[in-house]
A and B are shown apart, each in its own frame.
Chain A
Amino acid sequence: MGPIEVIYSTIAIMIALVGVARGYARELGNTLVIMAAIFLLTFQESLILNLFSRTGQRVFSIAGDQSDLLNFFLSTVFTLLFISIVFASYSGRVFAFASFGGRPAGPPHGLIISLLVGLLNGYLIAGTLWYYQDKFNYPLQRFGLIRLPLTATGEAIVELLPQRIFDSPVYWMVPVAVLLIFLVRG
């Protein structure tokens, strides 16, 4: 595998292209759910961490000195939680702006907005997946899926992951609140 930033950038670009294909009227609903998910998982991070650390130790008999295994378990749990929320947002009708009324603008500005919103969703999803690898010391490297150490670019990007750009996860609720206001107006 190549440098980690190439892997996650590819994921982000693919999500952005999906966003362009679906149109921003649909993608905005996903943006809202993804940002809420980032807020929830970051805000309650220590709680989830404690809960699943105990679960790992008791249910899967992960001993205290098996930190690599515990990290792998925790990163998988956080990743699965996040992916489940993202999947639900893509498969469900909840918060779909298109369902509440409104058609996207035509090209070219409609296309540009779709691309920007798609890129934002790509950044949020790929960035969050990367964050849970970085937080738990890259457990996927044991399968040879990730090559360490990080490049200089990778180290710079790690500081700009969604969970790290704001001082508090509460910041993520500002755009969520604004989007909700737009959703329910008229």
Chain B
Amino acid sequence: MNEQIEILVTFILYLAFFGWIGWMRGRKREGFTLAVALGSWILLQRFSGIFISLANLGKKFFYLAKAGGLSSNSDTQTAAIGTLKSVPPLLTAENAPGFLFVLWVIILILAYVLSSKAWLSKNNKADGWAVLFGLGSGLLYVTVLLPRLIALVVPGDATSTEIIRTSSALDVLGTTLTLLRTSLVNVWQLVRPQASLIILITLTLLLVLAASTLNRSNARKT
């Protein structure tokens, strides 16, 4: 019970932290970063074959150039092309996921660098959208990074490798949501003897929050 409350509080803190970062960075910057991070992750997963082929092609081109394939001599060119058959591919089924992950991290860092440029600073508001984009980034990072971070706490290389290989982002998100639901149910069981009071306070706070956000400075005079 206590552990689940700890998990719930940790997750809320984690999301609040990313929401705050979103608020600090502003709507346009955080939205840009989230769009690039999410878009590139989906592209890298969906069209992984293209990126792997491009990387292997790059390696072969490097070896071709090294063996004189760019020379004007046709004999040298033919000999260089012949050596390509013995060049092993850069990426195999074993190391391709690692390559794609590193590529995504590079894109993510570039997105953060680019989003700090002046062209995204104009009309960059700190509002609810910024917080939402920050929360979205936090959720994306937890689904992508968590399986890899588990290697820090799970003993043994085989287990951590297995976790990284078998878990998809959607699985992690599903497990996180299930865990959150269980934690909330447990918290509810804990406060159930005072359910009436808790519901009354929550209800009143919701209505106070709603009423207090009404913008009276622009109100119509009736």
Q: Find out whether the CB atom of B210 lies under 8 angstroms from the CB atom of A116.
A: yes
> Does B42 make an interface contact (CB < 8 A)?
no
How far apart sit A167 and B193, CA to CA, in the bound complex (Å)?
Answer: 12
Q: How far is the CB of A36 from chain B (nearest CB, A)?
A: 13
> Does B128 make an interface contact (CB < 8 A)?
yes
How many CB-defined contacts (below 8 Å) exist between A and B? 81
Interface residues on chain B, number (Cβ under 8 Å): 26
Q: How far is the CB of B63 from chain A (nearest CB, A)?
A: 52
How far apart sit A96 and B222, CA to CA, in the bound complex (Å)?
Answer: 12
Interface of A is mostly: helix
> Does A117 make an interface contact (CB < 8 A)?
yes
Residues in chain B near residue A108, CB distance under 8 A = 128-129, 132
Interface of B is mostly: helix
Residues in chain B near residue A25, CB distance under 8 A = 214
Whether A105 contacts B215 in the complex (CB less than 8 A), given A165-B199, A174-B200, comes out as yes
A121-142 residues with Cβ-Cβ distance < 8 A to B are: none
A97-116 residues with Cβ-Cβ distance < 8 A to B are: 97-110, 112-113, 116
Q: Find out whether the CB atom of A28 lies under 8 angstroms from the CB atom of B211.
A: yes
Q: Find out whether the CB atom of A102 lies under 8 angstroms from the CB atom of B128.
A: no
Residues in chain A near residue B212, CB distance under 8 A = 182
Q: Find out whether the CB atom of B214 lies under 8 angstroms from the CB atom of A99.
A: no
> Does A120 make an interface contact (CB < 8 A)?
yes
B3-24 residues with Cβ-Cβ distance < 8 A to A are: none
How far apart sit A117 and B211, CA to CA, in the bound complex (Å)?
Answer: 10
How far apart sit A40 and B14, CA to CA, in the bound complex (Å)?
Answer: 44
Partner of A182, one of B196, B203, B208, B219: B208
Whether A113 contacts B210 in the complex (CB less than 8 A), given A102-B215, A103-B219, A165-B199, comes out as yes
Per-residue CB contact flags for chain A residues 23-42 toward chain B (1 = under 8 Å, else 0) read: 01100100100000000000
B157-203 residues with Cβ-Cβ distance < 8 A to A are: 195-196, 199-200, 203
Question: Can you name 24 A-B pairs with beta carbons within 8 Å?
Answer: A97-B211, A100-B222, A101-B219, A102-B216, A105-B128, A106-B128, A107-B128, A108-B128, A108-B132, A110-B128, A113-B210, A165-B196, A165-B199, A166-B200, A167-B196, A174-B200, A174-B204, A175-B203, A178-B204, A178-B207, A179-B211, A182-B212, A183-B211, A186-B216
